[in-house]
């Protein structure tokens, strides 16, 4: 379930042909809630009820040099995002097609004896798997900053960062999370999930 909308996760991807890359880049750079670039991709951000910055849509280059894909993780984001994106991009892009992947449905269709993770991994593109895992990670760590942790001698991360030693412990812990995620992402051939939201939650930098 998506934390912000309460809707089931539904991985939706719209494909567009780019008619004018320069016009598209200029249009997106003029939007205050859009971050990114052509090489890195763009995200349209909003502030959730928990105060964290979240992405309602992602824009990335497609397999062809004249293609982009706009990805959403729920039907509501897609319903609201597509009209917004097309209004911003204007004549710089032309809509081509839409793909919808239901993670829950993919799991329910797993054959007897077939590993569920393998089955879903074969049917879902790496970017979609990364998005689904990111949603899970964000939900898993939603209260992390204010939970007492044994590794911090029973203090919460937010409490621990008020001392020099505690701050170093928290930073080391976050780097450990990031290192483990990077290894898993490499093994699974998918984009790594960013833990930047935890650094931002505590107001500290790597």
Q: Is residue 132 part of a domain?
A: no
Per-residue pLDDT reduced to its tens digit, 138-153: 777 878 899 888 788 8
If asked whether residues 162 and 73 sit together in one domain, one would say no
DSSP state of 90: G
Summarize pLDDT for 166-197 with one digit per residue, the tens. 999 999 989 888 888 888 778 777 788 888 99
Q: Count of domains in the chain? A: 2
Q: pLDDT tens digit string along 121-130?
A: 445 566 667 7
CATH number of the domain where residue 99 is located: 3.30.70
Closest Cα partner for 110 from 100, 124, 125? Answer: 124
58 lies in a domain?
A: yes
| 15 plus 100 within the same structural domain | yes
**What pLDDT was estimated at residue 143?**
83
Residues of the chain falling short of pLDDT 70: 1-5, 48-52, 102-128
- Name which of 192, 188, 11 is nearest 117 in CA terms: 188
24 and 85 part of one domain: yes
Going by the DSSP 8-state scheme, the letter that residue 195 receives in this structure is: -
| Structural domain harbouring 156 | 141-206
């Amino acid at each position: 379930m998506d934390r912000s909308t309460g809707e089931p996760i539904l991985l939706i991807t719209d494909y567009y042909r780019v008619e004018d890359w320069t016009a598209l880049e200029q249009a997106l750079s003029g939007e205050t809630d859009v971050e990114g670039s052509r090489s890195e991709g763009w995200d349209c951000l909003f502030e959730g009820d928990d105060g964290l910055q979240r992405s309602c849509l992602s824009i990335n280059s497609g397999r062809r040099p004249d293609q982009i894909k706009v990805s959403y993780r729920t039907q509501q984001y897609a319903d609201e995002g597509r009209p917004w994106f097309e209004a911003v991009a204007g004549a710089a892009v032309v809509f081509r097609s839409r793909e919808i992947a239901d993670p829950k449905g993919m799991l329910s269709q797993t054959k007897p004896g077939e590993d569920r993770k393998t089955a879903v991994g074969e049917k879902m593109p790496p970017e979609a798997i990364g998005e689904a895992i990111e949603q899970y990670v964000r939900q898993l760590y939603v209260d992390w900053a204010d939970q007492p942790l044994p590794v911090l001698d029973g203090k919460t991360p937010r409490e621990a960062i008020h001392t020099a030693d505690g701050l170093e412990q928290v930073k080391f812990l976050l780097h450990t999370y990031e290192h483990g995620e990077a290894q898993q992402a490499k093994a699974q051939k998918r984009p790594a999930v960013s833990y930047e939201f935890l650094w931002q939650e505590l107001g500290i930098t790597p």
